[in-house]
Chain A
Amino acid sequence: MIKTEKVLHLKSSRGRKVRVVREHYLRERVPCFSALCQAGCENDGKVLPGDLTHYVVPDAEVVLNYLEVLELVELQGVVFTQTACQALHSKGRRFYNRLRNLLKDPRHDCVLFANEFQEFSYCPREKGESQEKWQTRCVYAAAVWYYNHLAGMMNLVMITEDLDAVSRFSSLNSGVYVIGVQEYLQSFWPALQTAQDLYGSVRQALQEKEADGSQREFPEHLPAQVLEAGIKSGRFVQGTLNVSKHRAQNEAFVTSDGLSSKSPDLSAGVLVAGSKSRNRAVHGDLVAVELLPKAEWRGKVTALSEGPADERSGDDNETKPMPTGRVVGILQRNWRDYVVTFPPRDAAQAQSRAAQRVLAVPWDRRIPKVRISTHQADALQDHRLVVRIDSWPSTSLYPNGHSVRVLGRAGELETEVQTVLMENCIHVPPFSEAQLREMPVNSPEKPWAADPAEVAARRDLRQTHLVFSIDPQGCEDVDDTLSVRRLAGGKLLELGVHIADVTHFVREGSLTDLEARSRATTYYLADRRYDMLPAVLSADLCSLLGGVDRYAMSVMWELDAQSLAVTKVWFGRTLIRSSYQLHYELAQALLNGEEAQVPELARLDPEERDAKLSELIQALETLTHIARHLRAQRDRGGALELEGVEVRAQLDQDKNITALVPRQPLEVHETVAECMIYANHCVASKIQEAFPYQALLRRHPPPRQELFSQLVDTARAAGFSIDTRTNKALADSLDRAVDPEDPLVNRLLRMMATQAMSQALYFSTGAQPEDQFYHYGLALDRYTHFTSPIRRYADMVVHRLLTAALQLERGAEPGKPPAGNKDMEELAEHINSRNWAAQRAQNLSTGLFQCLFFKERDPETDPRCVADAIIYSIRDNGVLVFIPEYGVKGPVYMRNKEGLVVAVGPDGTCEWQSGSVRRHSDHITTMSGRGSATFRLFDHITVRISVLSTNCHADTLTLQVISNQPHLGAAPQRPGSPRRSQLVQEVVRLAGEAQEKAARRPELSKEEREFRQSRTPNLYSLLEEIRELALMDPDAAARAGTVMA
């Protein structure tokens, strides 16, 4: 190693300039990460393939400004230099991390070359040389070194935006080309239109930025040092900006975990009112806020949005003033990709061909409009596209951005679904060739068979155990099976839970594993599903289908037959063959002693069938017996039975539920769930014991008591008291709160309780103190997810941890040590955020389909648009209702925008009249010419559903009360949930038909096909029209002439 020194001039924390001397060591051997390397570099990790035409070395400036273009997977052979990396690092941690992730991702063909540590590619900065020039020179030197290092076998292309560098360097070396980015993309990747478009739009945005410089619209942000000092001294408050969904223009809140500890009155957050005081902060940014003097504090508005009272008398429906502040600086931008809609354009503007600036409206109301400059403004009218925000200078009212990708025309099903995915940052490209190549083959010609070595290493349960699965009907990915048998002459019971051994097929670090990790879960939308694993695994080789050999990961307990106390637990890998693939209804029927056809036994002769059937039924009975015991055990600890979002999501699959009755789960549901919970619990304890600081568990923090106030108040109105002090008290009091006449009341209360709950989340055991491990909902001290590795990545991680724990137990060193606490916590956070995204996407897509369903119908005539609703909350100018038939929640206004109120006639029908509205704690009264009407909590009313269409945002359903009586047609006999799935099917069918229609149309006209001409507005017809006009004109002129004469 050679030691050199470099002199830096840095600014000290007090703003003084300091001369710093740093050592700088150079070495001869720096790995080049190329497959062509002749010098024997230690290239471990990613290596650039040798069969490319060239490697490309981007200049520091290119990396700074055009990283997005370089992020495209199609660009291969990218060599990032350390110089460029450091330039990016000084721009900001976030950009640097993006590059780091890019370098780590095996799907991208790019490497990092530490050029400044290489003896021959390092060039010290000369006196008076600007930093940019020096960086360009360094990158060029690196490119030259690369060319020489690979003995001239690979051409090197350095791309730069510095034209001076192009002319200076391009003729120096034969194998190293220096060209501009645009030229590079055009000559080397002519087919890659996306890259060129992206480059163009980033470049436009950059030029815009330089050109700007008019008057100031916002106060400047304070510099970072001042902010830091201010936050430390308590002058500023630091937190995440949350823009209010309903009043995105005016209301935003800054919330932070650290706030409450400093001063109690800030615990509810700080209000930021108006866009001026928001000062260019965007929803989700980490900001610093300065509190305004107390006299200027304001309250938040509680009226339902779009209520008339908002502007006119702002004071009387505001709550008491809360801390109010203004944003003085932004600590961390949190911009993601946004979906925006191009507005329809007026004719006057449409003529200019030059680049235009367009204000595009984001789909998410909380995001401000984004200014984009583009050449394609006309073509993109009414299209939805993905944009990135680049900057928001203080001179501009709106942020500047550039477009990345076009999704499609607004209002089309496919576009809307893509929008939902995009807005939740869900990327689910089809599985790539390379990933599918990793998969084992199972085709009729080459059937998959268990490997003899694996068979020997696993415990073989094929002969000894009766294994069966119970799932919803038509389920493809069976990831759990059960077994139960008697041991030692009936004194002991053996219960087994066998889970698909996904990690056997998906090796850690493989491409499939990485893809699964980045997806983290299978995404279920209303009409489709995006699998986490390729279908060959999820529906075939990992799925524990009946009658075939499958690998499994098993947990087996030995229980005392009398007391059901666990005497022994065994974990391990097994080989199973599931005998029966039952579904819930069938299993329940068998348990109830009803006649039921088991398909697996259909072809056996009667005697054998009876024997097998009784064996199966006995197993099911034992299982139920054990599950009841486990459930009772958990109930004593205070486990909660909750109704809510999660149940609604499952409605699609469970076809036997009627919407008006609270879900009456079959006991089998509970039996299977209980076994799975117990397995999860045991595995959690096991891995936590083996890896006390890096096990992946799942916790459910207890809810904040103040969130229960709505539930308690509402329940009191219905005459029930709810005790929320512990989970056990809550569970008991919820069980008691049953209205015998209206089963919906209990369901609504449970739904509200769920809303008050905090979310369960994954975590690494090293990151939390032990008393935080508790799972509130299930009342277990340790919990994790182990039983669904096909659709959840967390389960795969737990499987790997369990395998490692078992290896440790056997005394063998685990092949690869599990990830450390930091990595595990990072992974847990990733999985959590993906799970929430999946949930949000699912809800959004359900809402989307509801809207599309009602859009097709005329609300005035179609009987399906009228439904029964139940009031569950009272607001200032309306009520919130729940429509059980469609599972829709929403507001119903008692006073509309014109100030008219709902008046109820003698027969219950409602109409708009002038009057007034009074709100009480448990009812709302309207006074009008037709007398007064009262709406109480838990009243049933009839509403009409219609769709409020907006071009730029998601459509919303609006509800209008038409009668204060229960809807007569809404009888419980009408099954609700089949409606929901019908709804989805119908919308999909309609969309399909529309497409078919579009596809069919060309067949209609023969000439069109023959002459390849489009129908009306083609150039030919246009010319014809003009000719006709011209022919007519002289006539007209002549006629006009005669008249004049």
Chain B
Amino acid sequence: MAGLELLSDQGYRLDGRKATELRKVQARMGVFAQADGSAYLEQGNTKALAVVYGPHEMRGSRSRALHDRAVINCQYSMATFSTAERKRRPHGDRKSTEMSLHLKQTFEAAVMTQLFPRSQIDIYVKILQSDGGNYSVCVNAATLAVIDAGIPMRDYVCACTVGFVDETPLADLCYAEESGGVSSLALALLPRGGQIALVQMDARLHQDHLETLIEAAMTACKSVSKVLDEVVRQHLQEASVLSRE
């Protein structure tokens, strides 16, 4: 069979979206009562659960504590049933470790850690179903969880992947697109100030195209932030109605 056509001449992608359209985002906050904060987020067929504990005292070796700010501890894992073929090892492999590190960096840039010296914030994210854009879905879910936990942040952190096909940037890649040989870039943004929390790209891309790609990623992140904002407000409304009762 010939290779997949990622962007048709009429501008449709494999799943019927246009180049700049995101997948459908659905989210809920406060899904677990026991954790300090939690959220569930679906972006298309990629589904993630994020849980936040803290800020609390340092667990384990106290020597890791920082005297001027909080330590952020992230752990990323994928459910064994999240992919088409059953995964052997849910966490601890190199990819997950790397992903954990990226998440940590992202949230260190967004959470106002200096308010909680000598303490620790734990963020656990689990991918329940994987269909491309795992990193960005994790970041978006974790943002909601952190907000749910009431930890002050500079801004929402919104993330999105973009790919580059036929001189056109494609927003929010699904798995078929990611594996179809597209050079993709993941970007986490603090949308209000337009500061970039993290950019990651493994594939080769001509320098001239980088700017357009980042531009497209930023627009996509801003649309994600609108959706997240909506979710937070909805949640707040529900919560306040509940507390009034």
Contacts and interface: CB of A to CB of B under 8 A. Distances in A.
B5 A89 contact: yes
B84 A117 contact: no
Contact of B16 (A20, A26, A31): A26
Interface in B152-186: 167, 174, 176
Nearest to A25: B16
B16 A116 contact: yes
Nearest to A92: B2
B45 interface: yes
B10 interface: yes
A101 to B, nearest CB: 10
A953 to B, nearest CB: 36
B85 interface: yes
A436 interface: no
Nearest to B166: A822
B178 to A, nearest CB: 13
A295 interface: no
Contact of A24 (B1, B10, B16): B16
B148 interface: no
A355 B11 CA distance: 46
Contact of A89 (B2, B9, B44): B2
Given A24-B15, A25-B16, A26-B16, A1 B84 contact: no
B87 interface: no
B27 to A, nearest CB: 15
A3 B24 contact: yes
Nearest to B44: A23
Contacts of B10: 31, 112, 114
A104 interface: yes
B23 interface: yes
A90 B12 contact: no
Interface in B86-116: none
B2 A5 contact: no
Nearest to A14: B85
A90 B1 contact: yes
Contacts of A20: 84
Interface in B47-103: 84-85
A974 interface: no
Contacts of B84: 18-20
Contacts of B17: 1, 25
A141 to B, nearest CB: 16
A112 B10 CA distance: 8
A752 interface: no
A96 interface: yes
Nearest to B84: A18
Contact of B15 (A23, A104, A114, A820): A23
Interface string A391-416: 00000000000000000000000000
A695 to B, nearest CB: 15
A93 interface: yes
Mostly, the B contact residues are: loop
A117 B167 contact: no
B14 interface: yes
Given A5-B45, A96-B2, A114-B10, A18 B85 contact: yes
Contact of B45 (A12, A23, A92): A23
Contacts of A100: 9
Question: Could you say which of B2, B44, B84, B85 has the most chain A C-beta atoms within 10 Å of its C-beta?
Answer: B2
Nearest to B11: A114
Interface string A233-269: 0000000000000000000000000000000000000
Contacts of B21: 1, 25
Interface residues of A, number: 30
Interface in A431-473: none
Nearest to A10: B84
Contacts of A90: 1-2
Nearest to B1: A90
Given A21-B45, A104-B9, A112-B10, A93 B2 contact: yes
B15 A25 contact: yes
A12 B1 CA distance: 12
A26 B174 CA distance: 16
A103 interface: yes
Interface string B1-41: 11101001110101111000101100000000000000000
Interface in A712-761: none
Interface in A1-17: 1, 3, 5, 12
Contacts of B176: 22
Contacts of B85: 12, 18
Contacts of A693: 208
Contacts of A116: 16
B131 A23 contact: yes
A27 interface: yes
A454 B16 CA distance: 46
Contacts of A92: 2
Contacts of B14: 22
A3 B45 CA distance: 10
Nearest to B26: A3
A239 B225 CA distance: 52
Contacts of A19: 84
A10 to B, nearest CB: 9
B16 A117 contact: yes
A298 to B, nearest CB: 36
Interface in A71-119: 89-90, 92-93, 96, 100, 103-104, 112, 114, 116-117
Contacts of B12: 114, 117
A90 B12 CA distance: 18
A116 B8 CA distance: 13
A80 B220 CA distance: 33
B201 to A, nearest CB: 21
Contacts of A21: 45, 131
Interface string A111-154: 01010110000000000000000000000000000000000000
A734 B102 CA distance: 67
A31 B12 CA distance: 12
Given A112-B10, A117-B12, A23 B1 contact: no
A506 to B, nearest CB: 24
A3 B131 CA distance: 15
B2 A820 contact: no
A872 B196 CA distance: 72
Which of B15, B44, B167 has most A Cβ within 10 Å?
B15
A61 to B, nearest CB: 18
Contacts of B8: 114
Nearest to B4: A89
A92 B5 CA distance: 12
Given A22-B15, A89-B2, A92-B2, 16 more contacts: A1-B17, A3-B23, A18-B85, A21-B45, A22-B176, A25-B17, A90-B1, A90-B2, A93-B2, A93-B3, A96-B5, A112-B10, A114-B8, A116-B16, A117-B12, A822-B167
Q: Which 6 A-B pairs have the closest CB atoms?
A: A93-B2, A25-B16, A117-B16, A23-B15, A3-B24, A18-B84
Interface of B: 1-3, 5, 8-10, 12, 14-17, 21, 23-24, 44-45, 84-85, 131, 167, 174, 176, 208
19 contacts: A1-B17, A1-B24, A3-B24, A3-B44, A5-B45, A18-B85, A22-B176, A23-B131, A23-B174, A24-B15, A25-B15, A25-B21, A89-B2, A90-B2, A92-B2, A93-B2, A93-B3, A112-B9, A114-B12
